[in-house]
Amino acid sequence: MKVHADRDRCIGAGLCALNAPSVFDQDDAGLVVVLNDSPSDAEAADAHKLAEHICPSKAILISDG
């Protein structure tokens, strides 16, 4: 699983960094930064939930492989 974040869509709500701090961070401007684009299984569940339900701007993208 690969995690990608679209910084043009991100509105800096910070929910990714709040809910999966080992995978995402928020830079000083407030926009998302991916810390680890190949998260472990445990982190993957959170990343999926973020991408599908929590990130309000649909800026988190997850692909297989």
* Of positions 1, 14, 36, 44, contacts another protein by CB under 8 A: 14
Altogether, the residues listed in the chain come to a count of 65
Give dist(CA 18, CA 1) in Å, integer.
Answer: 21
Which positions from 24 to 63 touch ligand SF4 by CB under 6 A, shown as an x/- string?
--x-----x----------------------xxx-xx---
The option from ligand SF4, another protein, none interacting with 29 (CB < 5 to 8 A, set by class) reads another protein
Contact (Cβ atoms closer than 8 angstroms) between residue 5 and residue 32? yes
Among another protein, ligand SF4, none, partner that 5 touches (CB below 5 to 8 angstroms by kind): ligand SF4
| HSE-up (13 A, CA, CB side) for residue 6 | 11
